Amino acid sequence: MLSIVRPVLLLDEQRVRQNISRMVNKAKHHGVAFRPHFKTHQSAEIGGWFRDFGVKKITVSSLQMAYYFAESGWKDITIAFPVNVCELNQIQDLASTVHLNLLVSSSEAADILARDIKTDTGIFIEIDTGFKRSGMDVDNIDAIEKILIRIGTNKYLRFEGFLTHTGQTYLAAGPEQIRSISAETYAQLRRLKEAFHSAYPHALISIGDTPGCSVMDDFSGIDEIRPGNFVFYDLMQLQLGACQPDEVAVAMACPVVAVYPERNEMIIYGGAIHFSKEFITIPEKGPVFGMMVYLRKEQFTEPDPDIWISKLSQEHGTVRTVPHQAAHFSVGDILYFMPVHSCLTANLMREYHTLSGEIIQTMNS
């Protein structure tokens, strides 16, 4: 029996392992390398579950995270974030002990690495295929070639290939649009790879968004996939159609601290510092910061469309219900909510409570 007195992030280990198994098997079926992103769970223990399925190389989002997982025995790590040149000394220390890949997202960064790196290091060039966050424009062949030439002047830098995050799939209206966006991205990357094939025949194409990796059935021309959120999934992925309700593996458990039936609302102990302020928009509801689920037979149900978090303050969560529903709840009840973005919620909560009552630490615990 779970004993909950304050907000905690509950984790269904069975679902997590099923999600890992499903993506491992998908990568094998399509003949692509699997380098999962560990920024979602940030846990050495959960990382060990990936090892159980034969995973040997990983992705992280910071040098600090790379060190944390290196200390847990991971030897092949890509930092899928534009290289922070302020950390070059620490980067080289780590690169002397593991196979480390960095992400170059600008010509300036390439110049600095080419000048200063003195330790064997892998380099991916980040490619922007339309998300407009960071990376070199996929069609700017001349600028990409200049970076490749600059990298080639340093014997310690090893060009690995082209890497992208198709973040625009998170704006899709559903699975079909995810497939359309992903197919166009893959076609762009195939053309890019072909443009440099004669000079760099071993260059890899690495892609990494959970919606695309979850729904796509054709990875032609792709060499590596790096999804992260799939390990837990969340309300955003469910709304996108990237997963099913029984694949979402986490839920926030929050005590009810006030009930206001006359306004169809409750207040929970669980605010922005627990959930994050990420939201989705649902017609007739507006911004939704989480939706209520039930814990039945040690499993989370699909979301209840009649009960959702409509507003978040620092510690307060305002729960909205359809008429007459709020009166069914009392102060002291524990309610469960599917978070909108499990990566951010997990980072804020810093530990997991499994449904069997165990506590799993993260790098932030």
- DSSP letters, 120-154, are -EEEEEEEESS--SSSEETT-HHHHHHHHHHHTT-
Considering its fold, how many domains does the chain have in total?
A: 2
Residue type, position 36, single letter: P
CA distance 281 to 288: 6
148 and 189 part of one domain: yes
169 and 264 part of one domain: no
1 found inside a domain: no
2 found inside a domain: no
pTM: 0.96
225 found inside a domain: yes
CA atoms within 13 A on the CB side of 170: 20
336-to-11, 88, 94, 256, 308 alpha-carbon distances in Å = 12, 43, 40, 10, 10
Q: Which residue is listed with tokens 């005590």? A: 255
145 found inside a domain: yes
CA distance 320 to 251: 18
- For residues 58 and 78, the answer to whether their CB atoms sit within 8 Å is yes
158 and 306 part of one domain: no
Residue type, position 327, single letter: A
21 and 157 part of one domain: yes
CATH number of 252's domain: 2.40.37.20
CATH number of 223's domain: 3.20.20.10
177 and 294 part of one domain: no
238 found inside a domain: no
- For residues 308 and 290, the answer to whether their CB atoms sit within 8 Å is yes
285 and 309 part of one domain: yes
213 and 74 part of one domain: yes
> Taking the CB of residue 298, how many other CB atoms lie within 10 A of it?
10
Angle at 124 between CA 121 and CA 129, to 5 degrees: 170
240 found inside a domain: no
Among 180, 200, 232, where does a domain finish?
Answer: 232
Close Cβ partners of 334 (under 8 Å, ≥ 6 residues apart): 4, 253, 254, 255, 256
What is the pLDDT at residue 2? 75
Query: Helix crossing, 63-71 with 44-51: angle to 10°?
Result: 60
213 and 268 part of one domain: no
Among 184, 203, 232, where does a domain finish?
Answer: 232
- For residues 309 and 195, the answer to whether their CB atoms sit within 8 Å is no
* Helices within 216-269 (DSSP H only): 235-240
- For residues 116 and 80, the answer to whether their CB atoms sit within 8 Å is no
258 and 127 part of one domain: no
List, as one string, the DSSP characters of 208-224. Answer: --HHHHHH----TT--E
150 and 272 part of one domain: no
5 found inside a domain: no
CA distance 123 to 118: 14
Among 199, 232, 265, where does a domain finish?
Answer: 232
Angle at 210 between CA 14 and CA 53, to 5 degrees: 40
- Summarize the chain as % helix, strand, coil (round to 5): 35, 30, 35
Close Cβ partners of 137 (under 8 Å, ≥ 6 residues apart): 127, 128, 143
176 and 304 part of one domain: no
- For residues 90 and 64, the answer to whether their CB atoms sit within 8 Å is no
270 and 307 part of one domain: yes
Q: Which residue is listed with tokens 């890019």? A: 192
According to DSSP, the residues that pair with 253 across neighbouring strands are 8, 336
Could you tell me the mean pLDDT of each successive run of 10 residues in the chain, 365 residues long? 90 98 98 98 98 98 98 98 98 98 98 98 97 94 98 98 96 96 97 97 97 97 98 98 98 98 98 98 96 95 98 98 96 98 98 96 97
80 found inside a domain: yes
β-strand pairing of 334-339 with 250-260: antiparallel
Domain that includes residue 110, residue range? 13-232
What is the pLDDT at residue 80? 98
